[in-house]
């Protein structure tokens, strides 16, 4: 049984080395997931900025059309119905912008939280794997001591 002991220890050392490497890979995957989540969140925020710019562009076009139509009809721009339409259009645009900003913030926060959770889960898996291998190493050492 003399040759079995060193082979058992070598196998255990190899197992421990594999666990450490796997743990490093798990942690790297977790960091990658967190970085990916941050990128997605930033893309969501940039998308909101683009949507706001698009809404404002459409609003300017609509107001220009309203102004032209009112002018062509001979009604003064700043009296009665035309002014009310413009004010309501501006209010609707402000409300849409606020709603979009709020929803984008929620979505970005959720995406970032998912990234943090993925990183935490990877760290935990790495720790469990390492602890399991250390436990097996201790067991193998105890078995080796009884073989000798």
Number of domains in the chain: 1
Query: What is the distance between the terminal CA atoms of the chain, rounded to a whole angstrom?
Result: 8
Q: What is the pTM of this model?
A: 0.60
pLDDT in tens, the chain (148 residues): 456 666 666 776 777 788 788 888 888 989 999 999 999 999 999 999 999 999 889 888 888 887 777 666 666 656 667 677 778 888 888 999 999 999 999 999 999 999 999 999 988 988 888 888 777 766 666 665 666 5
Q: How many residues does the chain have?
A: 148
Domain range holding 133?
A: 4-147
Report the greatest alpha carbon distance in the chain: 109
């Amino acid at each position: 049984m003399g040759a079995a002991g060193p082979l058992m220890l070598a196998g255990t050392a190899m197992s421990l080395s594999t666990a450490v490497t796997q743990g490093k890979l798990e942690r790297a995957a977790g960091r990658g997931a967190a970085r990916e989540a941050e990128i997605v969140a930033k893309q969501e925020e940039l998308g909101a900025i683009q949507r706001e710019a698009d809404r404002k562009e459409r609003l300017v076009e609509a107001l220009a059309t309203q102004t032209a139509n009112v002018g062509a009809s001979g009604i003064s721009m700043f009296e009665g119905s035309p002014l009310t339409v413009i004010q309501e259009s501006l209010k609707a645009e402000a409300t849409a912008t606020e709603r979009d900003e709020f929803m984008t913030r929620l979505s970005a926060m959720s995406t970032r939280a998912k990234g943090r959770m993925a990183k935490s889960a990877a760290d935990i898996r790495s720790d469990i794997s390492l602890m399991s291998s250390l436990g097996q190493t201790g067991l193998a050492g105890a078995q080796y001591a009884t073989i000798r």
